[in-house]
Chain A
Amino acid sequence: MATLSGEALRLEPQVAAAAPGPGLLHVAIRPARGWTGLNLGELWQYRELLFFLIWRDIKVRYKQTALGAAWAILQPVFSMVVFSLFFGRLAKVPSDGIPYPVFAYCALLPWQLFAYALAESSNSVVANERLITKVYFPRLVIPIAGVLAGLVDFAIAFSVLIFLMLRYGIVPTWTIATLPLFVLLAILTALAVGLWLSALNVQYRDVRYTVGFLTQIWLFLSPVAYPSSLVPERWRPLYGLNPMAGVVEGFRWALVGKTPPPGAMLAVSVAVVILLLVGGLFYFRRMENSFADVI
């Protein structure tokens, strides 16, 4: 093949010697070097995209379903009825002096929020393959959007709780003010685990099958159908290693206020979530460089 004239080739060094214009955004593209910073500032710049992705998930969630958003209520309500019948009525599981339906529903609310958020975020990166292979944006937006979209269902299901508490004449105390913190903890727990699983899912699709199974086992390991007071006092901090134990007991305490505050168990749960979350964030950031190549 003939080479081009010298003139054309000489053009290049001239261009290469030119300086960048002043005040322009500079994007440096370098090979991936293992662990990187979280770059949360950039994440903040992309908050509108985060908002749109959440909005999309919510909009699409109940499209072309006959019952629509009623699903958000049906699921926890049916679970509550079944739990009340079998655990509350037949197995006579203690409920810390709270009417069993309220006891179960208080726990099912954060549980369903967590289970949904975990499932969505674990699958989120793979589900958004098209975006990942075609557009640049901070990849963390994706699992975060997956987790936050679950809040709408939670809010809808929460309305049933108000009805239940009125029905049983339970008046919440000042402790209800702490409820947002427990919602946040549930979200962060799901995100912490979701970050690990979503990044792993890119490489190993086994994760898809793991999540359902994991959630099922996790439900029984969490004080949803039974109170954590069944666990001997001295084992409770250990029980708190399951962050959902702290979340669920925290919910009951915040809403009904009759059970003792979750104390040591909660402290352990919070510590575990922070560890998992920070680890998950860094792990995700490390793995995201290869997402587009592997997915």
Chain B
Amino acid sequence: MSDIAIRCEGIAKQYRIGQRESYRALRDTVTDAVTAPFRRVRAALRGGNGQSPKGTATIWALKDISFAVRTGEVVGIIGRNGAGKSTLLKILSRITNPTRGSADIYGRVGSLLEVGTGFHPELTGRENVYLNGAILGMKKAEIARKFDEIVDFAELDEFIDTPVKRYSSGMYVRLAFAVAAHLEPEILIVDEVLAVGDAQFQKKCISRMQKVGESGHTVLLVSHNVALVEALCRRAILLEKGEVVARGAASQVTAEYNAMFSDRNEIHRENTGELIFEGIRNRADLDGISGADDLAFRIGLRTGPRPLQSVYVDFALVNERGQWVVHSRAKFLDRSFHFEPHSRWELVYMIKAPMLAPGQYHLTLYAADAGQTHLWIEHIDACSVSARSHFGSAGVLDVLGATVPPFELELRKECNSHPS
């Protein structure tokens, strides 16, 4: 058990800005050479440093990453978008080289940065299983041996000889994941490929992943789904701006990650001062909740010097990927509120059984009357849903579009306040 599987020492990766995802035509190089002096003059006039946006500017996507993973360990790597998770995986998967540092991997590596890599739409499901398997590093004999199991897992029996371009997106993704799930290297490197398919298939994927982890394979899982990391990994590493900022037991590291989010301030899009947001009063009770239960936010509000008539309040619950999963508008209930001046209020927003998928959620709050927007705040740290409920509940609210579960709004006046 104490054998080492992955060891990284001082891994750093530098990108030239503009190098990624953009290629150059010779003509660009020539135009650059011609226009660069003018750009510099212009930038200097504006007080910039005269550095051209593409060209010499560089960023360190990773700075000095060191860690080690034992054989048979399941380790999660979490971090926000742009923290360097994907770059690290690309280096460990040998897709790109580090600029500095070294990594040693002991064992046969299989990496899944995407499901369905190399799928060709013109080829049949059967043909794509073989092609994709070979691309992922399986031997032909191995694919042939597991073929029936793969088709079974994908639930595609009768369509296996149909070109995949005729597949629905669900079928496509199921087949792609099925091939990936049957990759059995000694070390598995996975990037958030688990969130595929409908809720039922997602569960199947996750339990498959758990099995892989329990069967003694070394797994490195990258995700920004905290709940998933907690459910699957014993240890975790938290990346932020290309550095390891926390490591240790998965539950501790994920708590650290959650703390990063609550540090982050709300974004005030509109704030007239007529209606002031004073936080979610019961925020502390909303961590690790079950996604299947009714969810109530007790929102503190204070009014300014003017009375407000017929105010409509809208809410949106936003997941980690910035997608609106629940959208509740007071207009749906045909309810508007009257606020007296200089007083404190509590607005209770209750969503009935929202069936939230595990993860971190933010709230968007919007209040307006017929004439003007009084309050518009995004990214209010709202709640986190634990993975336990994920396995327990029958359904999981998917993120493909905002849904409108039943909800209730209740406004209570608490006391009068003095103008501050």
Q: What's the least CB distance linking B120 to chain A, in Å? A: 6
Chain B residues contacting A27 (CB-CB under 8 Å) are 94, 104-106, 109
What CA separation (Å) do A2 and B127 show in the bound complex?
A: 52
Q: Is the CB of A21 within 8 A of B106?
A: yes
Chain B residues contacting A49 (CB-CB under 8 Å) are 134-135
Q: What's the least CB distance linking A19 to chain B, in Å? A: 6
Chain B residues contacting A18 (CB-CB under 8 Å) are 2-4, 68, 70
Q: Is the CB of B97 within 8 A of A32?
A: yes
**Given A130-B117, A135-B95: A26 touches B25 (CB 8 Å cut-off):** no
Could you mark each residue 64-101 of chain B with 1 if its beta carbon is under 8 Å from any beta carbon of chain A, else 0? Answer: 00111111000000000000000000111111111111
Chain A residues contacting B157 (CB-CB under 8 Å) are none
Chain A residues contacting B134 (CB-CB under 8 Å) are 48-49, 51-52
Chain B residues contacting A289 (CB-CB under 8 Å) are 96-97
Could you mark each residue 179-218 of chain A with 1 if its beta carbon is under 8 Å from any beta carbon of chain B, else 0? Answer: 0000000000000000000000011111000000000000
Q: Is the CB of A5 within 8 A of B248?
A: yes
Interface residue? B263 (CB, 8 A):
yes
Q: Is the CB of B249 within 8 A of A8?
A: yes
Interface residue? B7 (CB, 8 A):
yes
Chain A residues contacting B113 (CB-CB under 8 Å) are 134-135
Interface residue? B331 (CB, 8 A):
no
* Interface residue stretch chosen among A55-63, A169-177, A219-227, A263-271: A55-63
B90 to A, closest residue via Cβ: A292
* Interface residue stretch chosen among A9-17, A100-108, A150-158: A9-17
Q: Sort chain B's interface into a size bin.
A: 35 or more
Q: Is the CB of A31 within 8 A of B100?
A: yes
What CA separation (Å) do A5 and B341 show in the bound complex?
A: 48
Chain A residues contacting B253 (CB-CB under 8 Å) are 4, 8
Partner of A29, one of B25, B27, B97, B108: B97
Partner of B127, one of A1, A25, A59, A134: A59
Interface residue? A235 (CB, 8 A):
no
A107-137 interface with B by 8 A CB criterion: 130-137
Interface residue? A24 (CB, 8 A):
yes
B111-153 interface with A by 8 A CB criterion: 111, 113-114, 117-118, 120, 122-123, 127, 130-131, 134-137, 139-140
What CA separation (Å) do A3 and B248 show in the bound complex?
A: 11
Q: Is the CB of A52 within 8 A of B130?
A: yes
Chain B residues contacting A293 (CB-CB under 8 Å) are 15, 19-20, 96
Chain A residues contacting B102 (CB-CB under 8 Å) are 28-31
A128 to B, closest residue via Cβ: B118
Q: What's the least CB distance linking B108 to chain A, in Å? A: 6
Q: Is the CB of B25 within 8 A of A205?
A: yes
Q: Is the CB of A26 within 8 A of B105?
A: yes
Q: Is the CB of B122 within 8 A of A52?
A: no
B4 to A, closest residue via Cβ: A18
Interface residue? B26 (CB, 8 A):
yes
Partner of B68, one of A16, A26, A133, A203: A16
Chain A residues contacting B248 (CB-CB under 8 Å) are 4-5, 7-9, 11
Interface residue? B314 (CB, 8 A):
no
**Given A1-B259, A64-B122, A131-B135: A15 touches B4 (CB 8 Å cut-off):** yes
What CA separation (Å) do A20 and B218 show in the bound complex?
A: 13
Most A C-beta atoms less than 10 A away, residue of B23, B140, B263 = B23
What CA separation (Å) do A27 and B218 show in the bound complex?
A: 15
Interface residue? A295 (CB, 8 A):
yes
Interface residue? B103 (CB, 8 A):
yes
Q: Is the CB of A1 within 8 A of B96?
A: no
Partner of A8, one of B24, B67, B252, B259: B252
Q: Is the CB of A203 within 8 A of B23?
A: yes
A208 to B, closest residue via Cβ: B25
Chain B residues contacting A63 (CB-CB under 8 Å) are 122
Chain A residues contacting B246 (CB-CB under 8 Å) are 3-4, 8
B109 to A, closest residue via Cβ: A27
Q: Is the CB of A29 within 8 A of B106?
A: no
Could you mark each residue 252-283 of chain B with 1 if its beta carbon is under 8 Å from any beta carbon of chain A, else 0? Answer: 11001001100100000000000000000000
Q: Is the CB of B118 within 8 A of A130?
A: yes
A270-295 interface with B by 8 A CB criterion: 289-290, 292-295
Chain A residues contacting B15 (CB-CB under 8 Å) are 293
Q: Is the CB of B111 within 8 A of A60?
A: no
Interface residue? B247 (CB, 8 A):
yes
B253 to A, closest residue via Cβ: A4
Partner of A16, one of B7, B24, B71, B123: B7
Q: Is the CB of A60 within 8 A of B123?
A: yes
Chain B residues contacting A16 (CB-CB under 8 Å) are 4, 7, 66, 68
Q: Is the CB of B26 within 8 A of A29?
A: no
What CA separation (Å) do A63 and B100 show in the bound complex?
A: 46
Q: What's the least CB distance linking A198 to chain B, in Å? A: 13
**Given A27-B109, A31-B98, A206-B25: A131 touches B118 (CB 8 Å cut-off):** yes
A29-61 interface with B by 8 A CB criterion: 29-32, 48-49, 51-52, 55-56, 59-60
Binding site for B on A (CB under 8 A): 1-5, 7-9, 11-12, 15-16, 18-21, 24-32, 48-49, 51-52, 55-56, 59-60, 63-64, 130-137, 202-206, 289-290, 292-295
The 4 A-B residue pairs whose C-beta atoms are closest, nearest first, are A8-B248, A21-B3, A29-B103, A20-B106
In the assembled complex, 29 residue pairs joining A and B whose CB atoms fall closer than 8 Å, in A order, are A5-B252, A9-B247, A9-B248, A15-B4, A15-B67, A15-B68, A15-B70, A20-B3, A21-B107, A24-B186, A25-B106, A25-B108, A27-B105, A29-B103, A29-B104, A31-B99, A48-B140, A52-B131, A52-B135, A56-B120, A59-B127, A130-B114, A131-B117, A135-B93, A135-B136, A206-B26, A206-B27, A293-B15, A294-B23
